[in-house]
Amino acid sequence: MKRYNTLNDYYRKLFGEKIFKVPIDAGFDCPNRDGTVAKGGCTFCTVSGSGDAIVAPDAPIREQFYKEIDFMHRKWPEVQKYLVYFQNFTNTHDKVEVLRERYEQAINEPGVVGINIGTRPDCLPDETLAYIAELTDRMHVTLELGLQTTFETTSELINRAHSYSLYVETVKRIRKLAPKTEIVAHLINGLPGETHEMMVENVRRCVTDNDIDGIKLHLLHLMTNTRMQRDFHEGRLQLMSQEEYVNVICDQLEIIPARMVIHRITGDAPRHMLIGPMWSLNKWEVLNAIDKEMERRGSRQGCKNNH
């Protein structure tokens, strides 16, 4: 039994069985790449916008869906329910008519019980939230709302191009205009210049200031063909050790309210693109180390949360 509220357990309770989360590249860009608010994108982001593991990103959306589930069925042939995951780049960065046309290509397929939408707080105008509210009457809807850091100095350094205050305000707007939407916050551990204390503070602020349902905790993966390579080679970025990462994750879990779902506590990166940390490729070893440290401490998710 895990000492934190896992996504797998949550989905099994919600849907009554194991499901697939099916990643889709819907062809969107980001406002900090195309000049809307900045250019170049986040410095950690690859040319695929964090969609490096998608099986057939250039195929039509419906074809991507079936290629992904065919691939997953090789390991889990019994699964018959799916969440469509619009994953890479910013999947609300267009007119609502475009979003509707692209989303509907996948979410009407047999077995689809929900949609997860990866996006940013500066790309959710009222008309988009009205459509998302409409979707919540049809299926389970999750907005995976990227934050990465609550510190403005870090945000500027990684070219995030939105403020933490905007994030807080956007969560409030979602709660008002699309109240049945599930909100999941993304944070990255190991960003340039951030100390252990700052990483823990990121989580504390995120769960205290925002009415969210879940959280994704990522390790910073330094990838080839990213702007962050320069920070690393010029000494502004120190990659985390496994021990450092396990300790900060456990400290973060202890202050996250027990009701919140932990959608991720590490990440995946293609081996051929990863510069480091290389220990992160041993995913199960990392997860087991987190479990052992929580057990050693005698702690559980939320045991140090006072809210």
- How do residues 128-152 score in pLDDT, each as one tens digit? 999 999 999 999 999 999 999 999 9
Q: How confident is the model at residue 49 (pLDDT cuts 50, 70, 90)?
A: very low
Average pLDDT for the chain: 93
Report the chain's terminal Cα–Cα distance, integer Å: 24
Length of the chain in terms of residues written: 307
Average pLDDT of span 192-212: 97
Taking residues 104-116, what's their average pLDDT?
A: 95
User: What is the maximal distance between C-alpha atoms in the chain?
Assistant: 52
What local confidence, expressed as pLDDT, does residue 59 receive?
87
Residue 177 lies in a domain: yes
| 63 within domain boundaries | yes
Q: Tokens in use for 68?
A: 């992904």
Supply the pTM of this predicted model: 0.94
pLDDT attached to residue 51: 46
pLDDT at residue 225 greater than cutoff 50: yes
Determine, yes or no, domain membership for 179. Answer: yes
Q: Provide the number of structural domains found in the chain.
A: 1
The b/e string for 91-126 (b: 16+ C-beta within 10 A; e otherwise) is bbbbebeebeebbebbbeeeebbbbbbbbbbbbbee
Residue 187 has pLDDT above 90, yes or no: yes
Residue 53 lies in a domain: yes
What's the pLDDT score for residue 227? 87
Domain assignment present for 121: yes
Average pLDDT of 155-159?
A: 91
Range of the domain at 38: 7-297
Cβ atoms < 10 Å from Cβ of 179:
10
- Distance CA(123)–CA(31), nearest Å, equals 8
For residue 306, is it within any domain? no
Q: What is the pLDDT of residue 25?
A: 92
pLDDT, residue 104, reads 95
Q: What is the CATH number of the domain that holds 132?
A: 3.30.750.200
DSSP three-state, residue 252: helix
Measured distance CA(275)–CA(217) in Å, rounded: 20
Give the DSSP H/E element, type plus range, for residue 185.
strand 182-189
Which of 47, 72, 56, 49 has the alpha carbon at shortest distance from 24?
Answer: 56
Asked whether residue 224 is domain-assigned, the answer is yes
* Most confident region among 43-47, 89-93, 213-217 by mean pLDDT: 213-217
Instruction: Quote the pLDDT of residue 53.
Output: 60
Higher pLDDT pick, 42 / 165: 165
User: Is 24 within a domain?
Assistant: yes
The kind and range of the H/E element at 99 are helix 96-107
